Structure 1
C-alpha cells in the first residue's frame, strides 16, 4: 500500500501530544459520520455544521496521522460547541491510516462516547456513475460557484462494473466494522437526494444525538439532475451490458 504524505505533520503531532499531556475535556456530545465517498456525506457535513450547537468537520483522516483515535479526540477537544462530529470514510480506515487497528477503530471511538451515523448509497450504478463523472467534472459544487458546465462522457461498461463491485465490497466492509454498535442508518436516496428531506434528516440526527435542532441549509448543491442517459454518450451500450449481469435492477431503479 502506498501511503499518502502527511499534510502539516508537525501540527497534527503537536495537537495529539498536547491532548495526551493535558487531556482537555471533549465536547459533551460527539459523533462520527461514516460511509463511502459520493454518498452525500459532503452535503450532510455542511448541513450539520450549520446547526447552532454542532461543529462538524470534514475528512480529518484523509491523510495518515499519528494515533488516529487520539487525533479524532483531540479535534473534538478543540471544539467550542455542545456537539462535535467529523466525517470518516470507510476507505480512510481500510487504506489510509497505517497505525490503526482497523476492525476495532469505530468500537474504540464508541467507548469514548462517539455515536455513529452511517450514510449509505444503495444504488450501486448511480454511485459508480457519480464517481466516474466526478473525475471529469469535479466532486461537488458550492452554491456560490458558477454553474458547472454539463458534459456528456463515454463510460466503459467494464469500468462501471468494476466500480460497482468495489463499492459493494466496501459496503460489506462497513457493515463488518459496525457490528455490535448502535448506529443511526441513513441513505442517500431517502435522506439526501431530495433537498426537501434535508431538514427532517437533520432533525432526526439531532434527536439521535440529544441536541436541539435548528433551521439548516447546505453550502453545496447537486451537479446533475434528470436522466442518467442524458450524461452518457454510450448509454445503450451500458444498458445492454448490464442487462446480462446481476446488477440490471440498479438501472431499472434509476
Structure 2
C-alpha cells in the first residue's frame, strides 16, 4: 500500500492538503510520532458538528474497493481507504481517536474509512467488538459489507495472489491467463474466511449497522445504484448518480478462470462446500 499521507491527500476539494514542506516533514516523522500527531489533530481540528461519520467493516476481496469508489462519486462524501492497515500504521492504542483526527481533515458533509476485523486484531491488538462499540458511542455509523459465497471469495483471493491483479478498470484491461488453483488451497482460504466471518458477526452483535451483501447489492450496476441510494439515505445525504472505475475480476464461468477446473469442481462437489457451487 502507498504511504498513508500520499494515499490520503489525493482527492482535490474533498480533503485539505498539507503544503509540500508540511507533508515532507510529517512523512519523515517516526510512525509513533505520526500517531500522536493525528491524536492531537482530533482535539485541535474539530469536524463539522453535523458531519456524518461512518466505518466500512469488511474483509478483503468483498467489493470494498468498488464500494469506496462508488461512495466517493458523491460530492458530499469522502471515504478513506484502510487507515489502520498494518502497512500504514501498527499498534494504534486508540483507534477511534486516530480515525477522528485523520478524518478531521476532510471538507465533506460525510466522511468514513474501511477497516478489516483482522487489522484490529493483529496489527493493533484490539477487540473488534469494543472498538466498533466505541465508534457507535461517539456517533459513527457502521456499514457491514460481506461476501456470502465463500467459494467465489476464496477463488478471488487465490487468483489475485497468484496473478498480482486485484482490480480491473474499464481502461487498460488485459486478457488474463488461466491460473492453477487446487482444492487444498481453496479449503484453506474458505476456512479462514469462515473464521473471519464469525469474528465479524461477534463484533457486530447488538450493534445497528447497514448491511451490504456483495452478491445481493453490489454485483452489477443496477444493484449498485439502488444500494448506494439506500446507503446515502442511511447517512443522511441526498441521492446521487454513482459510478465506478472498476469491473469484475472473476468471471461467472470458472472454467475460464481456473486451469483444470473440472477436477477442482469434482472435489468441491464431494466436500462440505458443494452448496456454494449451486448458489453461484
TM-score, normalised by the number of residues in structure 1: 0.91
1:3 is aligned to none
2:9 is aligned to none
The partner residue of 2:139 within 107, 113, 130 is 113
Matches within 5 A, 1:63-82: 63=86, 64-65=89-90, 66=92, 67-82=94-109
Matches within 5 A, 1:117-156: 117-135=143-161, 136-144=163-171, 146-156=172-182
Distance 1:149 1:55, change over 3 A: same
Q: 2:173 aligns to what SS in structure 1?
A: coil
The partner residue of 2:58 within 35, 48, 53 is 35
Q: Does the 8 A contact of 1:33 with 1:117 survive in 2? A: yes
In the TM superposition, residue 137 of structure 1 has moved relative to its aligned partner by: 4.0
Structure 1 residue runs of 4+, over 4 Å off?
Answer: none
Does residue 62 in structure 1 map to residue 65 in structure 2? no
CA distance in 1, matches of 2:41, 2:56: 25
CA distance in 2, matches of 1:226, 1:164: 18
**Matched length:** 247
1:84-104: CA deviation from partner (whole Å, max 9, x where unpaired): 111112221122223x34330
Higher relative contact order (Cα pairs below 8 Å, separated by 6+ residues): 1
CA distance in 2, matches of 1:75, 1:217: 26
Q: What is the CA RMSD across the aligned residues, in angstroms?
A: 1.9
In the TM superposition, residue 23 of structure 1 has moved relative to its aligned partner by: 5.3
Structure 2: state its 5+ residue gaps: 5-26
In the TM superposition, residue 170 of structure 1 has moved relative to its aligned partner by: 0.6
1:47 is aligned to 70
1:190-212: CA deviation from partner (whole Å, max 9, x where unpaired): 11111221111110101111111
CA distance in 1, matches of 2:196, 2:100: 25
